[in-house]
């Protein structure tokens, strides 16, 4: 690669933060070193939907396809390597090589790689529920995975820092209270993906669908339904109770906990309020 290719979304994200800008400045040298060490031939990086990592198709020395991913430092994704080792390809992409210090992963390539979002949303529900049932497991001790409460505490701090932008203080405070209460009251705990939605599931050959980009934490399985719900805001707004009930039944988790987690995320994550005030109120406890 004579000139280092940089996706526009990634460049824009890094320009907004000095630490990310430093990471971006080091990125060409990191990628060059990994190419040499792992004997890779790279194609142009993926452009769409990639804003927190540099991700490119790779070919190994034996001709096998792979994907090189070098991630931005990211609180939520800190144990991605360990999570992929724990799941070991069931039902995630397999980890071929890794470098924790560089936050670099050499991954199994999904081919043809069509995202699950190409299917109608009701079909997505069924496939995602099946994948979640396989992802949820108790990791053997000792393990490196943080409790879900650590992520909700981090989100709470971010939300409080923007309190002057809250569109509804009462709802936001109710969401923050649930961010504290729900992790403590969970009846079950499992290893979660936490960011599972139809854009993070790709069509593959080894299995019909494989999960990419997990952000593993240990906690309440009901939480893991929320990202798909929030990514289908049209259906959620049209029939919040019905959509939540359907997904909870498909996944075998408590419907009320899914509703409370969904409300908490809508209410406390102040940057996700656009056009959702009525929906947030409809889900309020």
What separation in angstroms does the CA of 95 have from each of 39, 68, 89, 99, 130?
Answer: 16, 10, 8, 11, 21
Could you tell me where the DSSP H helices lie in 64-168?
A: 80-87, 121-135, 148-161
Please state, in angstroms and rounded to a whole number, the distance separating the CA atoms of residues 3 and 16. 23
- 98, two tokens: 């890794």
User: Which of these is catalytic: 99, 164, 188, 195?
Assistant: 195
- Known active-site residue 195: yes
Please state, in angstroms and rounded to a whole number, the distance separating the CA atoms of residues 16 and 13. 6
* Residues tagged active-site: 195
């Amino acid at each position: 690669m004579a000139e280092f290719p940089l996706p526009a979304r990634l460049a824009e994200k890094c320009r907004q933060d000095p630490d990310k800008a430093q990471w971006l400045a080091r990125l060409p040298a990191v990628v060059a070193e990994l190419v040499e060490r792992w004997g890779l031939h790279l194609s142009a990086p993926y452009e769409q939907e990639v804003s927190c990592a540099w991700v490119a198709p790779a070919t190994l020395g034996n001709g096998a396809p792979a994907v090189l991913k070098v991630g931005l430092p990211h609180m939520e994704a800190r144990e991605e390597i360990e999570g992929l080792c724990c799941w070991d390809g069931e039902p995630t992409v397999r980890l071929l090589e890794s470098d924790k210090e560089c936050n670099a992963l050499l991954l199994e390539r999904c081919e043809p790689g069509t995202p699950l979002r190409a299917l109608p949303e009701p079909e997505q529900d069924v496939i995602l529920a099946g994948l979640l049932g396989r992802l949820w497991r108790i990791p053997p001790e000792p393990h490196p995975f943080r409790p879900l409460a650590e992520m909700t505490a981090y989100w709470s701090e971010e939300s409080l820092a923007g309190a002057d932008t809250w569109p509804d203080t009462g709802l936001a405070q109710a969401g923050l209270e649930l961010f504290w209460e729900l992790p403590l009251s969970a009846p079950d705990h499992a290893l979660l993906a936490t960011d599972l939605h139809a854009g993070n599931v790709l069509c593959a050959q080894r299995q019909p669908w494989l999960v990419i980009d997990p952000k593993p934490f240990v906690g309440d399985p009901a939480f893991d339904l929320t990202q798909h719900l929030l990514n289908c805001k049209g259906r959620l707004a049209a029939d919040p109770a019905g959509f939540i009930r359907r997904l909870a039944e498909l996944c075998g988790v408590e419907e009320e906990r899914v509703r409370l987690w969904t409300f908490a995320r809508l209410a406390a994550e102040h940057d996700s309020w656009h056009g959702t005030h009525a929906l947030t109120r409809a889900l309020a406890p």
